[in-house]
């Protein structure tokens, strides 16, 4: 019984116990978010699958070198799309920072496009066929902070 109470407590306060989608090998972005408004707020989570058509790699993406861009989409989630662009090599990419850098772009359910903000994207594992990592990002929507955090797993395009 104490284990059950502890699990319920951790879940109620947003602590992630595992990465089900990352463990089962599905390419996608699992995102957790909290919306804060004067009228209240919403806390939620969504899984946005990544299609192979939405993964693009360039050997030279400008001053930082190589660039990888991938996008997760879900037709009915609060966060409809989340695009992550990584420039340069490294484990941690600062959002809108210097090399290695990351850019995040989200489209919300009402069509609002969110960019900028602060945070980081961390690459945890990289192989010849997959990239796995996590991110934390705080952007501003309508003058209010929109904190997002999550994990991703994407299949890498074949290099020829």
pLDDT of residue 70: 95
Residue 103 to residue 52: CA distance in whole angstroms: 20
pTM of the model: 0.79
pLDDT tens, position by position, 34-68: 876 666 677 889 999 999 889 998 887 577 888 99
State percent of the chain over pLDDT 90.
47
pLDDT tens, position by position, 106-120: 999 999 999 999 999
Residues sharing a CB contact under 8 Å with residue 147, sequence separation 6 or more, in sequence order = 33, 34, 136, 137, 138
By C-alpha distance, which of 101, 96, 44, 45 is closest to 68?
101
Angle 57-133-100 from CA coordinates, rounded to 5°: 55
pLDDT of residue 160: 47
CATH number for the 26-155 domain, one of 2.60.120, 1.10.760, 2.40.128, 1.10.1750? 2.40.128
């Amino acid at each position: 019984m104490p284990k059950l109470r502890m699990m319920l407590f951790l879940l109620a306060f947003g602590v992630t116990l595992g990465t089900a989608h990352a463990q089962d090998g599905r390419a996608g972005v699992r995102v957790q978010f909290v919306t804060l408004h004067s009228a209240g707020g919403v806390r939620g989570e969504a899984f946005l699958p990544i299609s192979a058509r939405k993964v693009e790699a360039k050997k030279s993406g400008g001053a930082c070198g190589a660039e990888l861009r991938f996008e997760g989409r879900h037709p009915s989630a609060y966060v409809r799309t989340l695009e992550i662009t990584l420039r340069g090599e490294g484990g941690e990419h600062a959002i809108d920072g210097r090399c290695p850098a990351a850019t995040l772009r989200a489209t919300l359910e009402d069509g609002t496009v969110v960019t900028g903000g602060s945070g980081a994207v961390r690459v945890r594992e990289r192989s010849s066929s997959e990239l796995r990592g996590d991110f934390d990002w705080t952007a501003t929507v309508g003058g209010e902070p929109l904190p997002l955090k999550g994990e991703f797993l994407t299949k890498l395009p074949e290099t020829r």
